[in-house]
Amino acid sequence: MVNSTVFNQIVEPNWLARPATIVAPLLLGCVLVRQLPDGRVIRGLIVETEAYAVGDPAFHAYKRRSDRNSVVFGPAGRSYVYLIYGIYHCFNVVTDVDGVPSAVLIRALQLESVPDGENLHRFAAGPGKLCLALQIDRSLNGSLLQPGEALWLEHRSSEQQLAGSDSIVQTTRIGISKGVDLPWRWYIKNCAAVSRF
DNA sequence: TGACTGATTGGA
DNA sequence: CCAATCAGTCAT
């Protein structure tokens, strides 16, 4: 009864080494931690996720391995970051076992604080916006998600336990033109930091 | 609804 | 080589 009530447990690669459709809802309520080059730390509660997996036509790895998507073919516990529409970045957590392409897109965070004048609940409400807020770009693609690196994940603390499955909404994914019927998007119900309701 | 932006991809 | 596409965001 010492550290467990004070410090969050780190999310380990083995915990992520399951199908993206399993991990994506479990990541809701976990904390994404960003340590900036100057040492400052930004923490955000994950409130919206999407799964991308084998046989999924919307997945970047649907057709073949390439320079861009190679990290999602590797073992769980690394970041997959790509540039989208020429201007924004998207951050994913690589999941499932080595050799099975799979990832979870982190779509929105609830931050602890935001710059003066910014909306606390909207500053990281969207995959491009959260990468801006946490200064995530392609230089972090393939990085290990563990303390001491630029990014890591922590499990839900006792103060932020989700009430139960009632508090999670499962629906279809956003912004894609293929695989639109797969219900592989999850978000925390009634959370003002979700990108779209 | 459409403008913006540039890496990536797939087809000549 | 070139054209289309794109897991987004914001202003209109």
Verify if strand C has an atom below 7 Å from the CB of A90: yes
Per-position pLDDT tens, chain A of length 197: 444 456 789 999 999 999 999 999 999 999 999 999 999 999 999 999 999 999 999 999 999 999 999 999 999 999 999 999 999 999 999 999 999 999 999 999 999 999 999 999 999 999 999 999 999 999 999 999 999 999 999 998 765 566 555 599 999 999 999 999 999 999 999 999 999 99
For B9, nearest residue by CA–C1' is A66
Verify if strand C has an atom below 7 Å from the CB of A54: no
Question: On chain C, which bases lie within 7 A of the protein's CB atoms?
Answer: 5-10
Q: Which nucleotide is nearest to A126 (CA to C1')?
A: C8
In whole angstroms, B3 C1' to A7 CA is: 46
Q: Which two tokens stand for residue A163?
A: 């009430």
For B8, nearest residue by CA–C1' is A68
* CATH 3.10.300.10 is right for the domain spanning A3-188: yes
Residue (of A120, A144, A130) closest to A88 by Cα position: A130
Verify if strand C has an atom below 7 Å from the CB of A184: no
Verify if strand C has an atom below 7 Å from the CB of A129: yes
Buried b (16+ CB within 10 A) or exposed e, A21-49: bebbbbbbbbbbbbbeeeeeebbbbbbbb
Q: Which residues contact A73 (CB under 8 A, 6 or more apart)?
A: A61, A65, A99, A100, A101
Query: How far, CA to CA in Å, does A69 sit from each of A27, A65, A73, A79, A147?
Result: 22, 6, 8, 11, 24
Long-range contacts of A99-102 (CB under 8 A, 24+ apart): A99/A73, A100/A54, A100/A73, A101/A53, A101/A54, A101/A59, A101/A61, A101/A65, A101/A69, A101/A72, A101/A73, A102/A19, A102/A20, A102/A51, A102/A52, A102/A53, A102/A54, A102/A72, A102/A76
Verify if strand C has an atom below 7 Å from the CB of A8: no
Angle among Cα A133, A195, A120 to the nearest 5 degrees reads 50
Q: Which nucleotide is nearest to A50 (CA to C1')?
A: C7
Q: Report the 10 Å Cβ neighbour count for A160.
A: 13
Angle among Cα A161, A192, A96 to the nearest 5 degrees reads 55
Per domain, the residue ranges of chain A are: 3-188
Question: On chain B, which bases lie within 7 A of the protein's CB atoms?
Answer: 4-10
In whole angstroms, B12 C1' to A66 CA is: 22
